[in-house]
Structure 1
Amino acid sequence: MRARVDGRVVRTNALDLREHDVTHEDALAAIHDADGWIACPSPSTVHVHVGLVDSSTLRTADAVTRALAAAARSRGEHAEQDDEIAAARTELADDVPEVEGLETARERVATVSADVESLRERVERLGGMVAALREADADDETVGADHRAAVATLVDAETERAAAVETLERLQREVREVHDLRERRLRLEDRERRLARAARADLAARMRPSFERARRAVPDGPWRDAFAVVRVARVRAPVVIAVADGPFERASRAAACLDAPVVLTRARV
């Protein structure tokens, strides 16, 4: 790595900042910033788990498993579930569409249906008046004209209702399809989680022998598992070590023990 510290440029794989006004947050931010004051390779997935080592790092069995799986991948290992996981994640990346306008479509059908019923009553009433006039051998052109206009309006209204019903049925089909899609997505998410969990377990199991040997080679303490993971992983970007009363007097010893570039800072408070 190359670091700018107190106005000078330092090239090293073991940077000790414990006597400087630099926090572990400062160091981590610089490591993850391509234009930061620490120039180094980009952090890998391993750094998600052990990019910062302090007394709280990897305190659960699941955390260790996840870190070991990342370490295995850093060394080029693959899991038999990888293709299925990738396929599932590709499908899950597609957004589930939202169906809009269903309530408006329902209201529209209700409105035009009421209009159709009202128009039918008007057509029947006017038709009855026309028939009565004919039986009486009378003729009222106004009533006949009103009847014909009402029939034409009714035809238009029925056409409009048919279109509204068709729209409503289409939206209802889309709602059912989206519901089915969401159900499938839930099943797929569950499957992806199970596959990923199995892949992590498989990869971690492959690293266990090396990990146990590494645990015997690194200093004891609450950070032991984290140090062991760093030692067995292929780490190119520096690891930040922020531990109180740490086991390494010099940064160079930490880098040699962990076989990784390191940045030592004051303990995390």
Structure 2
Amino acid sequence: MHPRALIVDDEAPAREELRFLLEEIGGVQVVGEATNGEEALLLLNSLAYDLVFLDIRMPGLTGLQVAERLRGAAGAEGVRSPQVIFTTAYPDHAVEAFDLAAADYLVKPFSAERLQRSVERALAGAEPAASPASAASSARSAPAAAAPGETAPLGRAAQHQLVRIPVQKDGRTVLVEGDAIVYAVAARGYASLKLADDRVLVSFSLNELERRLQGHFFRVHRSYLVNLRYVRELVPDFRGTLVLVLNDRQRSRVEVSRRHAPELRRRLGL
């Protein structure tokens, strides 16, 4: 039996397009549609769904409010809530969405391939919890978790996954490839991406960018996430800490915190 999905969007063309894409990728059964948050909650209370595709800006309850109520109900009743994938034309609510444990955040328009990856990620996260005995066995055989500030090792598939970050520019959504990012810096709940010849603001927090990029990115400071492929030099400053000189046109300089310096040296093979 295919996972059951609910589409929530106040615009009929958007619902039709999403249904079409889901039929194209297969493996998901759309069994309900709602035009606003109140309708969505009624349907969710009447049937157990596996996936909910939620628009954010709708009349009445927003998609974020629906997701918050779902999360609250699941916690109070001890039941599994459906996996939520936000589908929106606005990237500026991504931080709030992931704070609500969203499985993914898709910025319209998105391709069938991007949707398929999102569905696969959501369904993987919806697997039933293991028994205490099997969980203990899995913990003994699983790789150790990464320490704070350390990037966990990736499997072969994850290492080759194409990661792109949506950026709003001149009224368009531009997808920036991870390899094009020199470094990211925290900016009051958002993050600024330094590219080769540009600097753009994104709605993701630095923590979320760290989770998305991983691989050859490393958190060298609480405020900086650096693409290690751009590291040119390590220079000690007058305080005894390290400064990275990056191989971009501006020879950008990024401070390394004392706490992260040993792991950085290890990652660079020093």
> TM-score per shorter chain, which class?
under 0.3
Q: From the CA coordinates, give the structure whose radius of gyration is larger.
A: 1
Q: Which has the higher contact order (CA 8 A, sep 6+)?
A: 1
Higher helix share: 1
Higher strand share: 2
